[in-house]
Amino acid sequence: MELQAVAKAISITEGIDEWHGLMKVLLQHLSVLPIPAEIQSSLRTAEAYWSGDSTFNANDLERARSKTWEYLDSFAEGADLKTREGRTARALLCVTEPDGDIETRSMKADWFAAMIWNET
C-alpha cells in the first residue's frame, strides 16, 4: 500500500492530521532499519516527538535535523546517496519537520521511498 494511503488511514483511525499520520508511517519503516550510531539519537527524538511525548518539542526536532545534516556533511559531496547509511540518514530527515502541507507530504513520501528502497 502506498505510504500516503497508509498515512491517511492512520490519521483517520487515530484522529490526527495527515502530516502526523505520514510521520508515524515513515517512522515505522525507519524502526526496522539499521540506523548509523551517529544519528540514532535523532531517530529517538523523532520517535518521541511524533508519539506525543510532551518533553519533546519542535526545537528538539530541529536539533535532530541539524545533527542528521552534520552526519550527512561527513560524506563527500553526493557520496551519501551511494551508501545505505547516507540514504537512511536522508530518509530520517523526512521525519524531522514538525509540519507540512499536502504538496510537502507528497514530496516527503516520494523522497523517503526513493531513499529507503533505493529508487533514485
In sequence order, what DSSP letters do the residues of 89-118 get, joined into one string?
Answer: HHHHHTTS-S---HHHHHHHHHHHHHHHTT
Q: Alpha-carbon distance 87 to 85, whole Å?
A: 6
Instruction: Give this prediction's pTM.
Output: 0.91
Number of domains within the chain: 1
pLDDT value for 119: 52
Question: What pLDDT is stored for residue 120 in this prediction?
Answer: 46
Q: Are 62 and 96 in contact (CB under 8 A)?
A: yes
> Domain range spanning residue 110?
3-116
Task: Give the pLDDT confidence of 14-51 residue by residue, as tens digits.
Answer: 999 999 999 999 999 999 999 999 999 999 999 999 99
pLDDT computed for residue 69 by the predictor:
98
Going by pLDDT thresholds of 50, 70 and 90, the confidence category of residue 64 is very high
Please say whether the beta carbons of 84 and 109 come within 8 A.
Answer: no
Contacts of 16 (CB under 8 A, 6+ apart): 10, 24
